[in-house]
Amino acid sequence: MLVFFLPVFLVFLMVGLPVFFALLFAPGILLWLNGQERDIALLYRNVYNGMDSFPLMALPFFMLAGELMNRGGITTRLVEFSQALMGHLRGGLAHVNILSSMLFAGLSGSAVADTSALGSTLIPAMEKNGYSRRFAAAVTAASSVIGPIIPPSGIMIIYAYVMGESVAALFLAGIVPGVLVGLGLMMVVRLLADRYDLPKAERIVTTNQTISPLEDRISFLLLRINFAGVLLIVYTLAKSIVSAATGAEIAISNWVPFIVLLPLAHVVLLRMRKTVSADFRVICKKAVAPLQTPIIILGGILIGVFTPTEASAIAVAYALLISFFVLKTLKLSDLPAILTKSALASSTVLLLVGAAVAFKTVVSLSHAPEQLAALILGLSDEPLILLFLINILLFVVGMFLDAGPAIIILGPILGPIFMDLGVHPVHFAIIMSVNLTVGLATPPMGLVLFVASSVSGERVETIARAILPFLAVEIFVIFLITYVPAISLAIPKLTGFVH
Protein backbone atom coordinates (compact mmCIF):
# COMPACT_ATOMS: atom_id res chain seq x y z
CA MET A 1 0.00 0.00 0.00
CA LEU A 2 2.67 2.43 1.08
CA VAL A 3 4.44 1.90 -2.22
CA PHE A 4 1.80 4.06 -3.87
CA PHE A 5 2.75 7.14 -1.97
CA LEU A 6 5.26 8.27 -4.60
CA PRO A 7 2.73 8.28 -7.46
CA VAL A 8 0.13 9.86 -5.16
CA PHE A 9 2.65 12.51 -4.22
CA LEU A 10 3.50 13.25 -7.86
CA VAL A 11 -0.15 13.54 -8.85
CA PHE A 12 -0.92 16.04 -6.11
CA LEU A 13 2.25 17.95 -6.89
CA MET A 14 1.37 18.22 -10.57
CA VAL A 15 -2.16 19.48 -9.99
CA GLY A 16 -0.78 22.31 -7.92
CA LEU A 17 -0.77 21.39 -4.24
CA PRO A 18 2.05 23.37 -2.57
CA VAL A 19 5.13 21.17 -2.16
CA PHE A 20 5.05 21.49 1.62
CA PHE A 21 1.54 20.08 1.86
CA ALA A 22 2.08 17.47 -0.85
CA LEU A 23 5.14 16.14 1.00
CA LEU A 24 2.95 15.51 4.06
CA PHE A 25 -0.37 14.72 2.44
CA ALA A 26 0.76 11.79 0.30
CA PRO A 27 2.44 9.74 3.04
CA GLY A 28 -0.14 10.91 5.60
CA ILE A 29 -3.16 9.71 3.70
CA LEU A 30 -1.63 6.32 2.97
CA LEU A 31 -0.55 5.81 6.57
CA TRP A 32 -4.06 6.75 7.61
CA LEU A 33 -5.66 4.33 5.14
CA ASN A 34 -3.27 1.69 6.43
CA GLY A 35 -4.38 2.38 9.97
CA GLN A 36 -0.84 3.34 11.03
CA GLU A 37 -1.93 6.26 13.20
CA ARG A 38 1.22 6.05 15.27
CA ASP A 39 3.39 6.61 12.23
CA ILE A 40 1.51 9.82 11.47
CA ALA A 41 2.62 11.09 14.87
CA LEU A 42 6.13 10.15 13.78
CA LEU A 43 5.61 12.13 10.58
CA TYR A 44 4.73 15.22 12.60
CA ARG A 45 7.64 14.76 14.97
CA ASN A 46 10.03 14.48 12.06
CA VAL A 47 8.83 17.77 10.56
CA TYR A 48 9.81 19.37 13.84
CA ASN A 49 13.08 17.50 14.21
CA GLY A 50 13.93 18.28 10.60
CA MET A 51 13.75 22.00 11.25
CA ASP A 52 15.44 21.88 14.63
CA SER A 53 18.95 21.90 13.24
CA PHE A 54 22.07 23.95 13.74
CA PRO A 55 23.65 23.36 10.28
CA LEU A 56 20.41 24.49 8.64
CA MET A 57 20.77 27.89 10.28
CA ALA A 58 23.33 28.82 7.64
CA LEU A 59 20.42 29.17 5.23
CA PRO A 60 18.70 32.21 6.75
CA PHE A 61 22.08 33.74 7.56
CA PHE A 62 23.41 33.53 4.02
CA MET A 63 20.11 34.90 2.72
CA LEU A 64 20.45 37.78 5.15
CA ALA A 65 24.08 38.43 4.22
CA GLY A 66 23.18 38.47 0.53
CA GLU A 67 20.28 40.83 1.15
CA LEU A 68 22.47 43.19 3.18
CA MET A 69 25.16 43.24 0.50
CA ASN A 70 22.57 43.89 -2.16
CA ARG A 71 20.89 46.78 -0.34
CA GLY A 72 24.26 48.18 0.66
CA GLY A 73 25.06 49.09 -2.95
CA ILE A 74 27.68 46.44 -3.41
CA THR A 75 26.24 45.32 -6.76
CA THR A 76 27.26 48.56 -8.47
CA ARG A 77 30.83 48.15 -7.27
CA LEU A 78 31.04 44.60 -8.56
CA VAL A 79 29.69 45.66 -11.95
CA GLU A 80 32.18 48.55 -12.19
CA PHE A 81 34.99 46.22 -11.23
CA SER A 82 33.97 43.62 -13.82
CA GLN A 83 33.68 46.31 -16.45
CA ALA A 84 37.15 47.61 -15.68
CA LEU A 85 38.45 44.09 -16.24
CA MET A 86 36.44 42.95 -19.27
CA GLY A 87 34.52 45.89 -20.73
CA HIS A 88 36.96 46.48 -23.59
CA LEU A 89 36.39 43.03 -25.12
CA ARG A 90 33.95 42.56 -27.96
CA GLY A 91 30.57 41.93 -26.42
CA GLY A 92 32.04 43.74 -23.43
CA LEU A 93 28.93 44.30 -21.35
CA ALA A 94 27.77 40.73 -21.88
CA HIS A 95 31.10 39.55 -20.48
CA VAL A 96 30.72 42.05 -17.65
CA ASN A 97 27.30 40.61 -16.90
CA ILE A 98 28.70 37.09 -16.63
CA LEU A 99 31.74 38.07 -14.58
CA SER A 100 29.56 40.11 -12.21
CA SER A 101 27.36 37.05 -11.75
CA MET A 102 30.38 34.96 -10.86
CA LEU A 103 31.57 37.53 -8.32
CA PHE A 104 28.06 38.02 -6.96
CA ALA A 105 27.80 34.25 -6.58
CA GLY A 106 30.53 34.44 -3.96
CA LEU A 107 28.36 36.75 -1.87
CA SER A 108 24.92 35.27 -2.35
CA GLY A 109 23.56 31.79 -2.67
CA SER A 110 20.55 32.45 -4.81
CA ALA A 111 20.01 32.78 -8.55
CA VAL A 112 16.93 34.94 -8.15
CA ALA A 113 18.77 37.56 -6.07
CA ASP A 114 21.47 37.56 -8.74
CA THR A 115 19.03 38.13 -11.60
CA SER A 116 17.14 40.93 -9.94
CA ALA A 117 20.21 42.71 -8.57
CA LEU A 118 22.33 42.56 -11.72
CA GLY A 119 19.45 42.70 -14.18
CA SER A 120 18.16 46.03 -12.91
CA THR A 121 21.52 47.72 -13.43
CA LEU A 122 22.96 45.84 -16.39
CA ILE A 123 19.98 45.32 -18.69
CA PRO A 124 19.35 49.08 -19.18
CA ALA A 125 23.09 49.68 -19.52
CA MET A 126 23.38 46.98 -22.18
CA GLU A 127 20.40 48.36 -24.07
CA LYS A 128 21.98 51.80 -24.11
CA ASN A 129 25.17 50.22 -25.42
CA GLY A 130 23.36 48.76 -28.43
CA TYR A 131 22.30 45.29 -27.34
CA SER A 132 18.75 44.08 -27.86
CA ARG A 133 16.82 43.93 -24.65
CA ARG A 134 16.00 40.25 -25.04
CA PHE A 135 19.69 39.41 -25.46
CA ALA A 136 20.55 41.43 -22.34
CA ALA A 137 17.81 39.67 -20.36
CA ALA A 138 18.92 36.27 -21.66
CA VAL A 139 22.55 36.82 -20.64
CA THR A 140 21.43 37.97 -17.20
CA ALA A 141 19.19 34.95 -16.69
CA ALA A 142 21.72 32.46 -18.06
CA SER A 143 24.59 33.75 -15.95
CA SER A 144 22.58 34.02 -12.75
CA VAL A 145 22.42 30.23 -12.42
CA ILE A 146 26.07 30.44 -11.39
CA GLY A 147 24.83 31.96 -8.12
CA PRO A 148 23.90 28.73 -6.35
CA ILE A 149 26.82 26.77 -7.84
CA ILE A 150 29.70 28.92 -6.61
CA PRO A 151 29.67 28.97 -2.78
CA PRO A 152 27.95 30.02 -0.63
CA SER A 153 24.95 28.16 -1.92
CA GLY A 154 21.50 27.74 -0.44
CA ILE A 155 20.71 24.53 -2.26
CA MET A 156 23.99 22.94 -1.23
CA ILE A 157 23.25 23.67 2.42
CA ILE A 158 19.88 21.98 1.94
CA TYR A 159 21.38 19.01 0.11
CA ALA A 160 24.12 18.57 2.69
CA TYR A 161 21.58 18.60 5.49
CA VAL A 162 18.98 16.33 3.93
CA MET A 163 21.59 13.84 2.71
CA GLY A 164 24.00 14.02 5.63
CA GLU A 165 26.98 15.34 3.63
CA SER A 166 29.51 17.96 4.65
CA VAL A 167 28.52 21.50 3.67
CA ALA A 168 32.17 22.46 3.41
CA ALA A 169 32.91 19.67 0.92
CA LEU A 170 29.96 20.64 -1.25
CA PHE A 171 30.90 24.32 -1.16
CA LEU A 172 34.44 23.54 -2.25
CA ALA A 173 33.24 21.12 -4.91
CA GLY A 174 31.06 23.83 -6.47
CA ILE A 175 33.86 26.28 -7.23
CA VAL A 176 35.29 24.75 -10.42
CA PRO A 177 31.91 23.81 -11.95
CA GLY A 178 30.65 27.36 -11.32
CA VAL A 179 33.70 28.90 -12.96
CA LEU A 180 33.32 26.46 -15.87
CA VAL A 181 29.73 27.55 -16.46
CA GLY A 182 30.92 31.16 -16.44
CA LEU A 183 33.74 30.49 -18.90
CA GLY A 184 31.39 28.52 -21.14
CA LEU A 185 28.95 31.42 -21.26
CA MET A 186 31.78 33.82 -22.07
CA MET A 187 32.76 31.60 -25.00
CA VAL A 188 29.21 31.79 -26.33
CA VAL A 189 29.32 35.57 -26.05
CA ARG A 190 32.63 35.56 -27.94
CA LEU A 191 31.09 33.49 -30.77
CA LEU A 192 27.94 35.60 -30.88
CA ALA A 193 30.03 38.76 -30.84
CA ASP A 194 31.45 37.82 -34.24
CA ARG A 195 28.08 36.92 -35.63
CA TYR A 196 26.04 39.86 -34.42
CA ASP A 197 28.88 42.35 -34.19
CA LEU A 198 28.35 42.99 -30.49
CA PRO A 199 29.84 46.29 -29.33
CA LYS A 200 32.79 46.96 -27.06
CA ALA A 201 32.31 49.17 -24.04
CA GLU A 202 34.38 51.64 -22.08
CA ARG A 203 36.36 50.05 -19.29
CA ILE A 204 35.73 52.98 -17.03
CA VAL A 205 32.36 54.68 -17.19
CA THR A 206 32.60 57.22 -14.39
CA THR A 207 35.95 58.95 -14.19
CA ASN A 208 37.40 60.70 -11.13
CA GLN A 209 36.41 57.83 -8.87
CA THR A 210 36.71 58.54 -5.19
CA ILE A 211 37.21 56.33 -2.17
CA SER A 212 37.00 57.25 1.49
CA PRO A 213 40.34 57.34 3.33
CA LEU A 214 39.20 54.63 5.75
CA GLU A 215 38.18 52.27 2.99
CA ASP A 216 41.38 53.09 1.12
CA ARG A 217 43.43 51.93 4.09
CA ILE A 218 41.32 48.82 4.65
CA SER A 219 41.61 47.84 0.98
CA PHE A 220 45.34 48.48 1.07
CA LEU A 221 45.76 46.09 3.97
CA LEU A 222 43.33 43.42 2.79
CA LEU A 223 44.84 43.34 -0.69
CA ARG A 224 48.30 42.65 0.68
CA ILE A 225 47.13 40.02 3.15
CA ASN A 226 45.09 38.21 0.52
CA PHE A 227 47.82 38.37 -2.06
CA ALA A 228 50.35 37.03 0.43
CA GLY A 229 47.83 34.29 1.22
CA VAL A 230 47.65 33.32 -2.44
CA LEU A 231 51.45 33.29 -2.63
CA LEU A 232 51.52 31.11 0.48
CA ILE A 233 49.16 28.59 -1.10
CA VAL A 234 51.31 28.50 -4.23
CA TYR A 235 54.41 28.09 -2.06
CA THR A 236 52.87 25.28 -0.02
CA LEU A 237 51.67 23.51 -3.15
CA ALA A 238 55.07 23.82 -4.77
CA LYS A 239 56.75 22.53 -1.64
CA SER A 240 54.46 19.55 -1.41
CA ILE A 241 55.04 18.72 -5.07
CA VAL A 242 58.78 19.05 -4.69
CA SER A 243 58.89 16.87 -1.61
CA ALA A 244 56.55 14.54 -3.51
CA ALA A 245 54.40 14.12 -0.47
CA THR A 246 51.77 11.45 -0.96
CA GLY A 247 48.85 13.34 0.54
CA ALA A 248 49.02 16.92 -0.71
CA GLU A 249 47.08 18.60 2.07
CA ILE A 250 47.51 22.31 2.38
CA ALA A 251 48.48 23.39 5.85
CA ILE A 252 47.89 27.13 5.98
CA SER A 253 48.97 27.39 9.58
CA ASN A 254 52.50 28.31 8.69
CA TRP A 255 53.19 31.86 9.84
CA VAL A 256 56.87 32.22 9.05
CA PRO A 257 56.62 32.04 5.24
CA PHE A 258 53.52 34.23 5.42
CA ILE A 259 55.41 37.02 7.12
CA VAL A 260 58.20 36.69 4.54
CA LEU A 261 55.69 36.72 1.70
CA LEU A 262 53.82 39.80 2.92
CA PRO A 263 56.48 42.35 1.88
CA LEU A 264 56.91 40.45 -1.38
CA ALA A 265 53.19 40.87 -2.05
CA HIS A 266 53.53 44.57 -1.28
CA VAL A 267 56.38 44.98 -3.76
CA VAL A 268 54.57 43.11 -6.52
CA LEU A 269 51.41 45.16 -5.98
CA LEU A 270 53.40 48.40 -6.10
CA ARG A 271 54.84 47.34 -9.45
CA MET A 272 51.42 46.44 -10.82
CA ARG A 273 50.04 49.73 -9.59
CA LYS A 274 52.21 51.69 -12.02
CA THR A 275 50.74 49.93 -15.04
CA VAL A 276 47.12 51.02 -14.54
CA SER A 277 45.23 54.32 -14.44
CA ALA A 278 44.14 56.02 -11.22
CA ASP A 279 40.46 55.34 -11.86
CA PHE A 280 41.12 51.68 -12.52
CA ARG A 281 42.98 51.46 -9.22
CA VAL A 282 40.19 53.05 -7.26
CA ILE A 283 37.57 50.79 -8.87
CA CYS A 284 39.64 47.75 -7.91
CA LYS A 285 40.11 49.05 -4.39
CA LYS A 286 36.37 49.59 -4.01
CA ALA A 287 35.76 45.96 -4.92
CA VAL A 288 38.14 44.62 -2.28
CA ALA A 289 35.90 44.97 0.77
CA PRO A 290 32.84 43.27 -0.81
CA LEU A 291 34.89 40.49 -2.36
CA GLN A 292 36.47 39.74 0.97
CA THR A 293 33.22 38.01 1.97
CA PRO A 294 33.76 34.75 0.07
CA ILE A 295 37.36 34.70 1.25
CA ILE A 296 36.27 35.00 4.88
CA ILE A 297 33.59 32.34 4.46
CA LEU A 298 35.67 29.79 2.57
CA GLY A 299 38.91 30.62 4.33
CA GLY A 300 37.30 30.23 7.74
CA ILE A 301 35.72 26.92 6.85
CA LEU A 302 38.91 25.65 5.17
CA ILE A 303 41.20 26.45 8.05
CA GLY A 304 38.62 24.97 10.38
CA VAL A 305 38.18 28.11 12.46
CA PHE A 306 34.43 27.97 12.20
CA THR A 307 31.58 25.79 11.01
CA PRO A 308 29.57 26.82 7.92
CA THR A 309 26.80 28.13 10.20
CA GLU A 310 29.23 30.30 12.13
CA ALA A 311 30.81 31.40 8.86
CA SER A 312 27.40 32.51 7.66
CA ALA A 313 26.81 34.53 10.85
CA ILE A 314 30.22 36.11 10.39
CA ALA A 315 29.31 36.92 6.79
CA VAL A 316 26.26 38.77 8.16
CA ALA A 317 28.39 40.66 10.67
CA TYR A 318 30.91 41.54 7.97
CA ALA A 319 28.18 42.74 5.62
CA LEU A 320 26.78 44.91 8.44
CA LEU A 321 30.19 46.36 9.26
CA ILE A 322 30.92 47.15 5.62
CA SER A 323 27.57 48.70 4.83
CA PHE A 324 27.29 50.72 8.03
CA PHE A 325 30.82 51.92 8.58
CA VAL A 326 32.73 51.65 5.32
CA LEU A 327 30.19 52.21 2.57
CA LYS A 328 27.73 54.03 4.87
CA THR A 329 24.87 52.99 2.60
CA LEU A 330 22.56 51.45 5.20
CA LYS A 331 20.65 53.06 8.02
CA LEU A 332 19.58 51.35 11.22
CA SER A 333 15.98 51.91 10.20
CA ASP A 334 16.53 49.78 7.07
CA LEU A 335 17.27 46.71 9.16
CA PRO A 336 13.75 45.53 10.12
CA ALA A 337 12.65 45.37 6.47
CA ILE A 338 15.80 43.48 5.44
CA LEU A 339 15.51 41.05 8.34
CA THR A 340 11.81 40.49 7.66
CA LYS A 341 12.46 39.76 4.00
CA SER A 342 15.18 37.23 4.79
CA ALA A 343 13.10 35.60 7.54
CA LEU A 344 10.14 35.36 5.20
CA ALA A 345 12.14 33.77 2.40
CA SER A 346 13.96 31.32 4.64
CA SER A 347 10.89 30.28 6.64
CA THR A 348 9.22 28.61 3.66
CA VAL A 349 12.43 26.75 2.84
CA LEU A 350 12.88 25.65 6.45
CA LEU A 351 9.33 24.31 6.61
CA LEU A 352 9.98 22.48 3.35
CA VAL A 353 13.13 20.92 4.73
CA GLY A 354 11.20 19.77 7.79
CA ALA A 355 8.52 18.23 5.61
CA ALA A 356 11.23 16.62 3.48
CA VAL A 357 12.82 14.97 6.50
CA ALA A 358 9.43 13.55 7.44
CA PHE A 359 8.87 12.46 3.85
CA LYS A 360 12.28 10.81 3.82
CA THR A 361 11.45 8.58 6.80
CA VAL A 362 8.33 7.38 5.03
CA VAL A 363 10.35 6.86 1.87
CA SER A 364 12.54 4.42 3.73
CA LEU A 365 9.56 2.80 5.50
CA SER A 366 7.91 2.15 2.17
CA HIS A 367 10.73 0.26 0.45
CA ALA A 368 10.08 2.52 -2.53
CA PRO A 369 13.80 3.24 -3.10
CA GLU A 370 14.57 -0.47 -3.43
CA GLN A 371 11.84 -0.87 -6.02
CA LEU A 372 12.81 2.28 -7.81
CA ALA A 373 16.43 1.17 -7.74
CA ALA A 374 15.46 -2.18 -9.22
CA LEU A 375 13.52 -0.35 -11.90
CA ILE A 376 16.37 2.01 -12.70
CA LEU A 377 18.99 -0.74 -12.61
CA GLY A 378 16.74 -2.76 -14.92
CA LEU A 379 17.28 -0.09 -17.56
CA SER A 380 21.01 -0.52 -17.45
CA ASP A 381 23.67 -1.27 -14.89
CA GLU A 382 26.23 0.96 -16.53
CA PRO A 383 26.62 4.03 -14.26
CA LEU A 384 27.51 6.27 -17.20
CA ILE A 385 24.29 5.52 -19.05
CA LEU A 386 22.26 5.84 -15.86
CA LEU A 387 23.89 9.18 -15.10
CA PHE A 388 22.92 10.33 -18.57
CA LEU A 389 19.31 9.32 -17.91
CA ILE A 390 19.42 11.06 -14.56
CA ASN A 391 20.73 14.20 -16.24
CA ILE A 392 17.68 14.21 -18.47
CA LEU A 393 15.31 13.48 -15.59
CA LEU A 394 16.78 16.24 -13.43
CA PHE A 395 16.72 18.66 -16.32
CA VAL A 396 13.03 18.00 -16.91
CA VAL A 397 12.25 18.26 -13.19
CA GLY A 398 14.22 21.50 -13.06
CA MET A 399 11.96 22.93 -15.74
CA PHE A 400 8.95 22.62 -13.46
CA LEU A 401 10.27 22.90 -9.95
CA ASP A 402 12.68 25.17 -8.07
CA ALA A 403 16.05 23.68 -7.31
CA GLY A 404 15.57 23.62 -3.52
CA PRO A 405 12.30 21.67 -3.41
CA ALA A 406 13.50 19.40 -6.22
CA ILE A 407 16.63 18.50 -4.26
CA ILE A 408 14.58 17.96 -1.14
CA ILE A 409 12.30 15.53 -2.97
CA LEU A 410 14.73 13.72 -5.26
CA GLY A 411 17.91 13.62 -3.19
CA PRO A 412 16.78 10.93 -0.73
CA ILE A 413 15.30 8.85 -3.55
CA LEU A 414 18.08 9.04 -6.14
CA GLY A 415 21.14 9.58 -3.95
CA PRO A 416 21.39 6.09 -2.40
CA ILE A 417 20.98 4.35 -5.77
CA PHE A 418 23.96 6.12 -7.27
CA MET A 419 26.05 5.78 -4.15
CA ASP A 420 25.57 2.02 -4.51
CA LEU A 421 26.74 2.25 -8.09
CA GLY A 422 29.98 3.80 -6.88
CA VAL A 423 29.31 7.45 -7.71
CA HIS A 424 30.95 9.68 -5.09
CA PRO A 425 28.30 11.36 -2.88
CA VAL A 426 29.85 14.80 -3.31
CA HIS A 427 30.10 14.31 -7.07
CA PHE A 428 26.45 13.29 -7.21
CA ALA A 429 25.47 16.31 -5.13
CA ILE A 430 27.16 18.60 -7.63
CA ILE A 431 25.54 16.83 -10.58
CA MET A 432 22.14 17.32 -8.98
CA SER A 433 22.72 20.91 -7.93
CA VAL A 434 24.09 22.11 -11.26
CA ASN A 435 21.48 20.24 -13.22
CA LEU A 436 18.61 21.63 -11.19
CA THR A 437 19.92 25.20 -11.08
CA VAL A 438 20.29 25.28 -14.84
CA GLY A 439 16.66 24.19 -14.84
CA LEU A 440 15.88 27.55 -13.22
CA ALA A 441 16.64 29.21 -16.54
CA THR A 442 14.63 26.85 -18.74
CA PRO A 443 11.07 27.38 -19.93
CA PRO A 444 8.24 26.87 -19.11
CA MET A 445 8.59 27.28 -15.32
CA GLY A 446 12.11 28.67 -14.93
CA LEU A 447 11.93 31.03 -11.98
CA VAL A 448 14.92 33.05 -13.17
CA LEU A 449 13.24 33.63 -16.55
CA PHE A 450 10.25 35.15 -14.81
CA VAL A 451 12.44 37.43 -12.73
CA ALA A 452 14.46 38.45 -15.81
CA SER A 453 11.18 39.14 -17.57
CA SER A 454 9.85 41.36 -14.80
CA VAL A 455 13.17 43.21 -14.48
CA SER A 456 13.52 43.81 -18.23
CA GLY A 457 9.89 44.11 -19.29
CA GLU A 458 10.56 41.59 -22.07
CA ARG A 459 8.19 38.64 -22.50
CA VAL A 460 9.22 35.29 -20.99
CA GLU A 461 8.84 33.52 -24.35
CA THR A 462 11.17 35.98 -26.07
CA ILE A 463 13.84 35.59 -23.41
CA ALA A 464 13.39 31.82 -23.53
CA ARG A 465 14.28 31.83 -27.23
CA ALA A 466 17.24 34.17 -26.83
CA ILE A 467 18.66 32.06 -24.00
CA LEU A 468 18.95 28.87 -26.10
CA PRO A 469 22.62 29.20 -27.16
CA PHE A 470 23.57 29.83 -23.52
CA LEU A 471 21.53 26.87 -22.36
CA ALA A 472 23.30 24.68 -24.90
CA VAL A 473 26.68 25.44 -23.37
CA GLU A 474 25.29 24.99 -19.85
CA ILE A 475 24.03 21.54 -20.80
CA PHE A 476 27.44 20.78 -22.23
CA VAL A 477 29.05 21.78 -18.91
CA ILE A 478 26.56 19.53 -17.07
CA PHE A 479 27.75 16.56 -19.12
CA LEU A 480 31.35 17.54 -18.52
CA ILE A 481 30.73 17.66 -14.78
CA THR A 482 28.87 14.36 -14.89
CA TYR A 483 31.55 12.42 -16.73
CA VAL A 484 34.67 14.03 -15.26
CA PRO A 485 34.34 13.62 -11.49
CA ALA A 486 37.67 15.38 -10.97
CA ILE A 487 36.05 18.71 -11.86
CA SER A 488 33.98 18.52 -8.70
CA LEU A 489 36.26 16.46 -6.51
CA ALA A 490 39.70 17.98 -7.13
CA ILE A 491 39.45 20.92 -4.73
CA PRO A 492 37.74 19.06 -1.86
CA LYS A 493 40.29 16.25 -2.20
CA LEU A 494 43.23 18.61 -2.33
CA THR A 495 42.08 20.33 0.83
CA GLY A 496 41.32 17.09 2.62
CA PHE A 497 37.55 17.54 2.87
CA VAL A 498 36.94 14.46 0.76
CA HIS A 499 38.99 11.30 0.89
Partner 1 sequence: MLQVLRAISLVNSAILALGRHIAWMALGLMVLVILLQVVFRYVFNNALAWPDEAARFLMLWMTGLIAPSAFRWGGFVAIDMLPLALPRMAGLVLTIILLLLSLSVLAMGLQHGYNHTMGFGGNFDSSSLRLPLDLIGLESLKVKLRYMYGSLLISIILLLLVNVELVLRTAANLISPDASLPPTDAPSDLQRAD
Contact positions toward partner 1, by CB under 8 A? 12-21, 24-25, 28, 32, 40-41, 43-45, 47-48, 51-54, 56-57, 60-61, 64, 305-306, 309-310, 313-314, 316-317, 335-336, 339-340, 342-348, 350-352, 354, 400-402, 404-405, 444-445, 450, 454
Q: Which is nearer to partner 1, 42 or 205 (CB)?
A: 42
The C-alpha atoms of residue 120 and residue 141 are separated, in whole angstroms, by 12
Nearest distance in Å: CB 264, partner 1: 29
Nearest distance in Å: CB 197, partner 1: 34
Q: Which is nearer to partner 1, 189 or 452 (CB)?
A: 452
Q: Which is nearer to partner 1, 222 or 339 (CB)?
A: 339
- Between vectors from CA 155 to CA 85 and to CA 367, what angle results, nearest 5°? 150
Indicate the residue type of 127.
E
The C-alpha atoms of residue 412 and residue 22 are separated, in whole angstroms, by 16
- Between vectors from CA 400 to CA 396 and to CA 402, what angle results, nearest 5°? 110
In sequence order, what are the residues at sequence separation of 6 or more whose Cβ sits closer than 8 angstroms to the Cβ of residue 248?
237, 240, 241, 494
Nearest distance in Å: CB 165, partner 1: 20
Q: Which is nearer to partner 1, 67 or 474 (CB)?
A: 67
Nearest distance in Å: CB 426, partner 1: 26
- Are the beta carbons of 395 and 439 closer than 8 angstroms? yes
Which of 455, 368, 364 minimizes the C-alpha distance to 164? 364
Q: Which is nearer to partner 1, 147 or 404 (CB)?
A: 404
Q: How far is CA 450 from CA 80, 243, 441, in A?
A: 26, 54, 9
Q: Which is nearer to partner 1, 18 or 199 (CB)?
A: 18
- Are the beta carbons of 23 and 10 closer than 8 angstroms? no
Q: Which is nearer to partner 1, 220 or 400 (CB)?
A: 400
Q: Residue 458: what are its φ and ψ, rounded to 5°?
A: -90, 150
The C-alpha atoms of residue 172 and residue 490 are separated, in whole angstroms, by 9
Nearest distance in Å: CB 119, partner 1: 14
What does the DSSP 8-state code read for residue 305?
Answer: S
Nearest distance in Å: CB 198, partner 1: 30
Nearest distance in Å: CB 108, partner 1: 17
Q: Which is nearer to partner 1, 161 or 470 (CB)?
A: 161
In sequence order, what are the residues at sequence separation of 6 or more whose Cβ sits closer than 8 angstroms to the Cβ of residue 433?
148, 149, 153, 155, 156, 159, 170, 174, 403, 407
Q: Which residues of 374-400 are buried (b: 16+ CB within 10 A; e: fewer)?
A: eebeeeeeeeeebbeebbeebbebbbe
Nearest distance in Å: CB 100, partner 1: 22
